[in-house]
Amino acid sequence: MSSSIYKTLFLCLILPATFSVSAADKKKEEEVVKVPLYQGLQIGFDLVSPAGYLISDSYGASIKADINLWNKYFPTVELGYADFNKTSEDGINCTSSGQYVKVGINKALSYGGNKAENLFFAGIHYGFSTFSYNLDNLVYYPNYWGANSDINSLQDQKATTGWIELVAGVRVLVFGPISLGWTAQYKSTLHVSNGENSIPAYIPGYGENFKPKLGMAFHLYYKLPF
Amino acid sequence: MDVKVYCSFYSQTLKKAVQIDSVTVWGVGSDSLIYSNETVSELALELNPKVQETKYVVQAIASGYLFKDTLTLKYTNQPWFQSMECGCMVFSTLESIVPTGTIFQSATILNPKIINQKTKHVVLNI
């Protein structure tokens, strides 16, 4: 067979494949273009913290917002306040209060609905808090001299803390613009600046100061109409 | 989680760290012995958190003779809250340590911060 026949045969085999690859690319491109960038803004309210003193030593309140981008990425920011009051078995009393902020991003692992109204997600957040605390009825570690310091309380200790959270959760549409969401948190402090005479026992937004730790959050969401 | 002043020994004749035999140590004003006729390479001494001066008597037996030296430590105190479980302790900043000169010729402060970490704070020169 002459070389020209081979060339013709080759072109006949290659051209359909080229057209089909282009068609696949175009369909994929169309699918990506179909989901707009901005898919909505949800405001969330913490349902557990305000009732905290009924079940723990702390209470607080927080509000969060997350933006739906492409039904895929959900940048989120949360502002909150927390209060803590605990007395140890030895009688040491710690009271603490302060504000915190968390920023991060969640990624949809799977979703349902045109605008991801039902969502299963995972994410990473950074939290930061500045706060003050008081320590009363101080108990001292025993020593050779059997003597203790005369200082019985430490007032107005100030500290700042940053921590990281790995989260996973679900958000479920209840009715209309209302959703409920549960989030599991795995947290660890990154940096803690101690008080003048103390290590903070409690960090607003994080919890009692040990690492790592697990947490749980429960939010009511409202989807804004724009 | 002890807060102690760690004092090692240095022989100026031998030009090296040494240990001392038959050492007995107690605090002035206390009946309890910290060391009782022991061979030690360092002393770990607690400071009285209620005052700013603590004295320890160091007694050693060498060549059948009894030697006694008194260490006077002066410092400032700072309370430190560790945790709800552990409570408080008192950290100190060592200002001076002066021996009477019978056993130790002088003392050198390497690290004046006395906290809940074991480190070399003082060298007692023999």
The pLDDT tens digits for A21-59 are: 455 555 555 555 578 888 899 999 999 888 777 777 888
Q: Give the CA diameter of chain A.
A: 108
Average pLDDT over every residue of A56-75: 92
Contact A148 B50 (CB under 8 A): yes
Rounded to the nearest integer, the mean pLDDT of chain A is 87
Query: Which residues in chain B are contacts of A86 at CB distance < 8 A?
Result: 84
Q: Which of A75, A165, A91, A74 is nearest to A125 (CA)?
A: A165
| Below-50 pLDDT ranges, chain B | none
Q: How far apart are CA A196 and CA A173, in angstroms?
A: 47
Contact by Cβ (8 Å): B103, B35 = no
> What number is the ipTM of this complex?
0.89
The pLDDT tens digits for A137-189 are: 998 888 899 888 889 999 999 999 999 999 999 999 999 999 999 999 999 99
Strand B5-11 to strand B122-125: parallel, antiparallel, or no bridges (unpaired)? Answer: parallel
User: Which CATH code fits A36-223?
Assistant: 2.40.160
Of A141, A154, A195, the CB nearest to B87: A141
> Concatenated DSSP letters for B51-120?
SSEEEEEEEEEETTEEEEEEEEEEEEEEEEEEETTTEEEEEEEEEEEEE-SSS-SEEEES--EE-SS---
Of A92, A144, A198, the CB nearest to B80: A198
Q: How many Cβ atoms sit within 10 Å of the Cβ of residue B97?
A: 25
Query: Which residues in chain B are contacts of A95 at CB distance < 8 A?
Result: none
